[in-house]
Amino acid sequence: MTAKTDKKAVDLSSFDDAKAKHEAGIEIAIVGPDGKTPMGFSIRAAGPDSERAQTAQEQLADELIEQENLTRLKAREAAQRGIRYLAKLTMGWAPNIILDGQELEFSEENAEKLYRRHRFIREQVDKAAGNRARFTKG
């Protein structure tokens, strides 16, 4: 499409910095179930435009194809895939947390465990990590 206009061209390179922020991730200060009491730890998550997010989406889609499960997902299956996707976006937490009396160091598997067990934490990370505006600040 080559319509002649008098307007200047739009330079999209200004979005390259935002892409780098998606890759670096953001710190999400976790608050308690009341929505305001600081829990004393934060979770770092990559953004929706990161390579990590793209790879996670592709891996989960490949699993569906391999299982030949291309029919409509049941709500529980979709929720479980959402937890696995969020765990793949999670880059770490600080400081380590204690769950069931044991220190839980960061791993993708432990992130899944945390998100399955504590919906209020999962929802905070999901909301922040999916918000592109959070990756354009500062």
Domain presence at residue 88: yes
Domain presence at residue 25: no
Q: Which residues on adjacent β-strands are paired with residue 103?
A: 98
| Burial category of 125 from C-beta neighbours within 10 Å (exposed 0-12, middle 13-18, buried 19 and up) | buried
The 10s digit of each residue's pLDDT in 17-70 is 778 889 999 999 999 999 999 999 999 999 998 999 899 888 877 777 666 655
Domain presence at residue 2: no
Helical (H) or strand (E) element with 135 = none
Candidates 55, 52, 57; CA nearest to 26 is 52
The 10s digit of each residue's pLDDT in 81-92 is 889 999 999 999
Domain presence at residue 67: yes
Domain presence at residue 77: yes
**Domain count of the fold of the chain:** 1
Domain membership of residue 80 as a residue range: 43-135
Domain presence at residue 23: no
Domain presence at residue 37: no
pTM for the model: 0.80
The 10s digit of each residue's pLDDT in 102-113 is 999 999 999 999
